[in-house]
Every structure is written in structure tokens, then in C-alpha cells.
Structure 1
């Protein structure tokens, strides 16, 4: 017997050491988290701590603290809890123990990728509790009192409302059901297009803000529009007659266009050609419009009505020497620009120029002779009928 006692003693010591080591190892393999709840009914030490309904830890202590309840929990360190997790007391049945669930699970879309640190504390803003049965009964009692004979139905108003509603909806069940279905479809459509809807609302808000910032301008515009409307109202008979005449004119124009479609097509094509030519020669047109008024004014000033002559002083020094040396070639170049030496008109010009040079006729001012008409010749004050002569 004494030998048995001596053998059991060391075994008990070894067992105690192993148990202490297991406790220490188990403590090192768990994390803790503290949560503050407004109430913690049916939550006790040893209640489960779960994630997605799977137990991962237990409740260590439940301690009242002022108007809140502090619940300290521990869970397996191998379980990752997101840093933004919340603690929710779940009641699986009306009567029975409850458990604390940490949600959302780590890795779910929208959850934090960081993990909850060891010893973290969740405040009242990160905890939730279920509605208790007595709260439901109290709310129902308050509702019945509010709708009862001492409340909304004191004068029978609620009864009248229910009776009128029953009469109005009698036989309209199918229509009412379809209305609810259509409203459901509408809400689904709005939900699918919420970004566009909110975008349109934002743009509408900016438009209203712009109108508010330009309130006086908008008022002036509305006032002007009202004045225009008043004028149109006073002239409505004339406006009606003008619109009637315009309709008649448009009818006639339409008939004219149909009857002369081919001719109009040709005219428009020709007009298009003219427009292209004017566009290509716009630089020359600019020069003509700039120089023509001065040239016409100078021409008017050169005419001498008493003598019937154009009194001009040609600046022959500005003419090129080749023109003075060979005027017939210059004139032929104007007539035959491709080949000034070609026969025909150029030969006739050559003979005329030679004759003028031989006779020294002063009717060729570009040859260096004088201007005007010789004193022995008769003159025509009307310039051949271009202007009214003088006596």
C-alpha cells in the first residue's frame, strides 16, 4: 500500500503540470474581444460566439456597466474577423439561450481586408440586440389604444374610414392587385436605373440652383414673355390672317416647285457654279470692290464737259519698257494670250500700230503723244452719246 502511494504521487504531479501547460497553450491560442450591448438578455458565461452560425468561441464574462452591458468573449485565433465587424445577439427561438454572432465573415464583398486585433472593443454603435417579445406586446398595445375609442376612433372617424375604404375597393381586388404588381415593376426599374435617376436629379438640382442665382433675369424674361403674349393676343386676328396667307403662299410655292422641278434643278446647279466661281475669285472681287469706287470717281473727274474730252495725264514712266518698245506685241498678247505671234487679229493690230507710228497720230497717248483732241479736229462733247453734251 505504501508503495502504491509512492507511485501515485509523482503521477498526480505530472498530470497537474500537463493540465497547466494545456491551459496555458489554450490561452495563447485564443483572441479576445469586448462588446458593449444596450442589454444582454439570455446571454451567459459560456454562451456561444459564432460566425455564420458556426461556433468559434465563447462568452467569458457578462458585466452590467451603467446603462450598458459589457460582454467579454474569446475565440479561436485561427478565425479571421474583419476589422469593421459588428457583434449581434441572435435569438434562435423565443425562449432559450442566445448566442453572439460576429458579422460579416472575413472575405465577404464589402468587408475590411484587415483583421480585428486581439483585445479589440466594439462600442454601442457596432452592436445590435433583438426586439424582445414584451416590446412587441407594448407596441401593439400602444397601437390599439391609439386607434381605439379613446384615440383616433373617438368620433367614429376610423370606422367611417374603414367602411368607405371597403365600399371603394369592393370588387376592385384584381385591379388593386395589378396596381401593386405594376408599382413593384416600377420600383424594380427605378432600382436598376438608380444611377441615372440620381444623376438626373442632381442635374435638375443644378438647374434649379442656376434659376435661383438668376432670379431677376428669370423674372424679366417671364415679364417680357407675358408682354409678348399680350401683344399676340391683341393681334390674334391679324396673326390668324397672316398664318392663313402664309399657308396659301406655301401651297402655291409647293405647287410651283413641283411644276418646275427640272428648271429649278438646272438653275440651282448654275447658281452653284456661279457661287464656286465667286468663291474661287474672292480675292479679285475684294480688289475690285476696293478699287472700283476710286476708279469711277477718278473717271468722273477726268471728263471735261466743255471740251468733250478726258483730261488725263498718263504716267508712262510706270509702263514696262517692252510695252513701249513693242506695243503691237503687248496688244496681241491681250487678244491672243496663248500665242501673241499668231496671225489673224495680231497681223491686223501690227498693221494698225505701224500706221499710227508712221502718221504720229495723237490718238495713241500710250506712244508718248499728247492727250485730248487736236485743235483742228471736231470734238464730240457727249463722248459718243455716253453723257449729255453742252452747247
Structure 2
């Protein structure tokens, strides 16, 4: 039994500490106030996006939270909120819904209103009338007024300026002077681009002036282009037929090339062989080309009387042999070379 007592004690201590830490964490996340509180109500003309659990603050210090938001009299919002019991609200207390951040979270800010008796307090369960409450700032209407400026700024500058505007107009921090100085710095940044903008406008004026000076030519070009397009539209059927014919021609040409490809390849190969043969017999080719004019002249003289060749027989001879009688053939000159042309 003693051996089990120590581990059980350690386990019990661990479980107690773990449960306590988990409970504290859950209370912190849920923003639950376990202290004694008093409940109050306030009427607003608009309580948009105010949710249960949102903070209730006095001078920026959290003193309670919103418990419920409901509709009252069909035209007003009735907000029920709790405040720590040790916080006494004056009878002239005021309430205003303010922005907690740009994401849209809100909280209720309580303040001190003007009263004849400063010591009078608002009893628990009391209601702050609508005359002493203010709804949240209408960001849509506010930012619409800054829309021309926002269009010329970067997203980071827009976020920074928007947050400062909300803070100033809600009275949370900064002054109008700070806001104006920041706006002035942004405006100065835009003003530094005035020269570039002026040059762009000047160049644009130059272009427009040049176009205006050639208005007649531009009008003629536009008219001619219109006529061309109209003519093409009217002749679209022949143009389509011509395109189809070109397609057929392309197909036929492709077939022709397919048929002629093999013979053409063989011719190119044979042409290579011819070139090699001529190269190997270079001296013979040169000799032929060198004496070709002389031979051509001689051949031309032989056909000068008509489309035939004239031959002159200068000499003829023969041999006669008789078997059994003459053992040695006899050389008989038939036509001796006696003509002058044959003796040259």
C-alpha cells in the first residue's frame, strides 16, 4: 500500500494542476468574467456588428462585456451589458459604440455626461436613454468621401490612413492636426508626380494635334479601309472558292512531289556520279573544250551546201588474190591521190 500511495498522490496533484490550468485558459479564451457583476441596458439607434462578448470599457479599460443585443420598439437596439460590481456608473453615464479594429470588431465605451448631481449613480438594471448614446461611425459614408484619395494610394497607405481617421473621429487617439499632417504628406507624394503627369498630358496633346492636322488623310484612309472591307465582304463567296481551290492545288502538288521524289533522288545521285567522272577526266574535258571551236568550224564547212556532209575520196586501193594461182595478193591502186586538195 505504501508503494502505491506516492504515485497516486503525484497523479492527483498532476490532474488538479492540469484541470486548473485548462480552466484558466478556457476562461481567458472565452473572455468570461467570474467576478460579481451588475447588469445595465442602453438604447442605440444602430448597433450593427455589436455582438455578445464584446468589451465594455471606461477610458479604454475593460470593466465588463456585452451580454445581449436585441431590437426594441422596432426602431432601436437594446444592448444589455454587465459591469463589475465594484464599478458604480454615474446617473449621467453616456455610451458609445466604437471600432476596436479595422476588421470590424466593436466595443461599448462608457463616459461621464453632464449632470447637476455628480454623485448620483445609475442603479443596477437601469437603462441609458438613446439621447446619451451614439452608434458606431458609418465607415461606408466616411470612406466614400475619401474615395478619390484612396484610388491614388497603395493598400498599406490606405489601411494606415483609414485607421487614423477612425481613431481621430472616435476620439481614441491622435489629433486632427496629426491626421491632417499625414494626409498632407500623402498629398505631397502625389504632388511630386505632377511633372510626370504634365509631360504625359503634353505628349498626348502633341499626338492629338498631329492627328488633327492630318484629319483629311486619316479620313481618307478610314474610308478606303471601309471600302476594302466592304469589297471583301461582297466577294466572300469567290474568295472562299479560291481558298478551297488553293487547298486542292496544295494537295495535288503534294501528291506530285511524292511521285517525283524517288526519280529526283536518283537523278541527284547520278548527277553526283557525273560530276565525279568529269573531275577525274579533267584534262580530257579541258582538251575537248579547247579544240571544240576548231572542230566546230571544220564541221560547219562540210555542211555549208545543205543538211548533209560532203566527203572527197582522195585515194582507194585493194588487194586481189586467186587461190591456187597467185600465192601473194596483188596490190591494185583503184584511185591514186592525184587531186590538189588531197595533196595538201
Identify, as 1 or 2, the structure richer in strand.
2
Query: TM-score if structure 2 supplies the norm length?
Result: 0.31
Higher relative contact order (CA 8 A, sep 6+): 2
Query: TM-score if structure 1 supplies the norm length?
Result: 0.27
